Amino acid sequence: MVAAATTTTLSMKLLIDTKARRVLFAKASKDVVDFLFSLLALPIGTAVKLLGNDAMVGCVGSLFGSVERLDGTYVQPDASKDVLLHSSVLSPAASSKSSLLGLPAPPSP
């Protein structure tokens, strides 16, 4: 039997400066933020660190740089952004119940 696929819709409200081609403000739900952070929980964060932001195509390098510059007041008290920025092993955040990636849990150490 084939498992039924579920669809999750994510939405954001963006305030964009079209002349400067920059996002000035983004309003998103916790699910959107968790999804973006779970992308960094993949070894992509290590690849960005090794190759540099300029070598990354698309938004991955920008996302990594944004998290690097993120002020600590925007990070949950029991969380650390260093886990996302300097992970060499798959982070448990990628396989948590709130992760939209649906990855299996990493093996226990």
pLDDT digits over 15-35, tens only? Answer: 999 999 998 999 999 888 888
Q: What is the pLDDT of residue 25?
A: 93
Tokens at 42, concatenated: 């993949």
* 45 contacts 34 by C-beta, under 8 angstroms: no
* 60 contacts 43 by C-beta, under 8 angstroms: no
Where the chain has pLDDT below 50, the residues are none
User: The pTM is what?
Assistant: 0.44
Q: What is the pLDDT of residue 16?
A: 96
Q: What is the pLDDT of residue 36?
A: 81
At 108, the amino acid letter reads S
Hey, CA dihedral for 17, 21, 26, 28, is it positive or negative?
Answer: positive
Hey, CA dihedral for 46, 47, 51, 55, is it positive or negative?
Answer: negative
